[in-house]
Amino acid sequence: MRVVYRVIAYVIAAEVVLQASFMAYAVFGLGKWIDDGGVLDSAVIESDKMAFDEEVGFMLHGINGQMVIPALALIFLIVSFFAKVKGGVLYAVMALVWVAVQITLGLSGHEIPVLGLFHGIVAFALFGTAFMAGVRAKRPALAPVGGDAAL
């Protein structure tokens, strides 16, 4: 279970990197589209048709952030109870809390844009928490309580 714990931790960290990549792809595509004469207005935003190819980055960011990463964080928490990683449950709880904060900031940021600043900062916290959980899972397993480790 330690290996599963470590893999999920690193996958969560990688997902944070993907999140940033998806958003950068979409925003850079939006900038190019506008430079090429596109006009972003409510009609474009409300349209079911994609205005530019890179717009898919916004969709991937939303799906990944609202479904994939939360599912991974829940699985990570469950696995943490069986992985016998010192402090593993704490790291999994912290990751789940960071994910909940991220979702709240991301959804609230549409109404209060300044929350986007914190959304970015919390992404670093989630990345760091997940990465450190993976690093800690590489350390030797805990010795059995009351048992003879040499046997």
pLDDT in tens, 98-146: 999 999 999 999 999 999 999 999 999 999 999 999 999 987 655 556 6
- Cα distances (angstroms) measured from residue 82 to each of 8, 14, 29, 76, 137: 13, 23, 44, 10, 12
What percent of the chain lies above the pLDDT cut of 70? 92
Q: Identify the pLDDT of residue 6.
A: 97
Q: Residue 92 in contact with residue 133, Cβ under 8 Å?
A: yes
How does DSSP classify residue 53? G
**Helical pair 88-108 and 2-35, crossing angle rounded to 10 deg:** 20
Q: Identify the pLDDT of residue 70.
A: 98
The pLDDT of residue 149 is above 70:
no
CA distance 31 to 99: 29
The pLDDT of residue 91 is above 80:
yes
Q: Identify the pLDDT of residue 139.
A: 72
Q: What does the pLDDT look like over 8-17, one tens digit per residue?
A: 999 999 999 9
- Cα distances (angstroms) measured from residue 118 to each of 54, 82, 103: 25, 33, 11
Q: Identify the pLDDT of residue 146.
A: 61
Residue-averaged pLDDT of the chain: 92
The pLDDT of residue 150 is above 70:
no
